[in-house]
Amino acid sequence: MPFTSAFCISSSLSWPLLWGSISTAFILLYLLTGKKIHSPNIKSLYFIILFLLNIVLSFFINDILNPPDSLVFGKTVNHLFAYFASFINFYVTTFLLFNLNSEAVSPYQITKIITLVLFFSCVFAIIEFIAKNIFSIDFDQIVPHPAVEKMNALALGDIFRSIRARGLAEEPGHFAFMINLFLPLSIYYLFFSELCRFPKWAKTTIVSTFIIALILTFSTAAFVVLPISLFLSFIFFRKYLIKHLVKILIGASLLILFALVLDTYVPIITQLALDIDQKTSNSGSMDDRTTRAELFQTYFKNAPILNKFIGYGPSGYLKAGLEADTDSFLVLYQTFLFETGIFGMLIYIAFLFFLLLQIKKIIFPLNFFLLFSFIMGILHYFFISNYWYPWYWFVCAFIAHISTLSQFLSVKA
């Protein structure tokens, strides 16, 4: 899952897409041979099917009945394929693969693999950061990224202007998104699964590596989303966590103290704070986001009633008269609302609500860390619109699968 850009075959063919497609082909072949995949809960798949049917309907009305020029139509077909490839490969296929042998797929095994994958990715990102900023090595020549060949995004601020780490992803913010999503699941495995045999110093080192890599992305979204998601998760499970309140406060205090001491020697926390402050005040990035948000409001408000309900279809902003790239939306929910309409957005909200209900059925503390990751995904998509990454759909499929395993369900469920 980390290789969404680095070492990819081309800018449009990533390794997750390739292996996801192979997995989908395997599932289809498996079913065509007359075998069945038994799952006590496939309701979440209905939401995905309805969402994709809505996309197809919108495509038919906007692009088949009223065909645009060939360039726009070609881009529309690519985006239609992206919708199907993302939701089928990364959610439906993942969920079905989990259910091929439910007894062999436990949260402990999955979170262990996620921890190892995330550790590898973060170590890679730290090496990349050091190579670029300390040794001035052209790291992008060593590790090809077909989509964005050269990454020179700088951390803002007055202390030091460093090239942000992007790891194996296309951009630093996208890599930070992956760290945020997998961090809670890794913490669960390391400290709460009771199956991790690493010594405490190794567990602490691993989590520190995650945090350092996250800081080196200098992602404003990541550091806005993380505390808000943690707070909401605490509120949701407050009756379980109140007895651990003293330990939580002590742990938080030690973490803050460590960060302050570290910052006196290596002022990377101060640099991060300055970077966030500049991005949220007077940066070109913020101006660009504001402009695109205003375009969305204007064009959706003035859209014909049919387009408001079923959307403009894949890459609908082009059919509405907006410019490619410069006018595309940077928020997933704006993209979904504009391209799938109110119907599509309601289906997606229902899908998220269904998963939230599934989380409530799962035992504590696993449900807490799943909710933490789930909320971070929801909030982070207010900052990006790249639904074709596998990470969040994997987490959603993981939640849906665990909620079918009786040994991980709470008594009340």
Q: In degrees rounded to 5, what are phi and psi of residue 88?
A: -75, -55
CA-only gyration radius of the chain, Å: 22
Residue 365 belongs to a domain: yes
Identify the domain containing residue 302 by its residue range: 15-408
C-alpha 370/C-alpha 360 separation (Å) is 10
Residue 3 belongs to a domain: no
C-alpha 378/C-alpha 27 separation (Å) is 28
pLDDT of residue 317: 81
Residue 71 belongs to a domain: yes
What mean pLDDT, rounded, does the chain reach? 86
pLDDT tens-digit profile of 83-92? Answer: 999 999 999 9
pLDDT tens-digit profile of 7-27? Answer: 888 877 889 999 999 999 999
If you search the block for the tokens 């909200």, which residue do you land on? 349
User: What is the number of domains present in the chain?
Assistant: 1
If you search the block for the tokens 């909030």, which residue do you land on? 379
Q: What's the average model confidence in pLDDT over 365-371? A: 93
Residue 8 belongs to a domain: no
pLDDT of residue 277: 67
Confidence of residue 367 (pLDDT cuts 50, 70, 90): very high
Helix ranges, 237-389 (H): 238-241, 245-265, 268-279, 284-301, 305-310, 316-319, 332-361, 366-380
Residue 9 belongs to a domain: no
* pTM metric for this prediction: 0.90
Confidence of residue 266 (pLDDT cuts 50, 70, 90): low
Residue 69 belongs to a domain: yes
Residue 65 belongs to a domain: yes
Residue 7 belongs to a domain: no
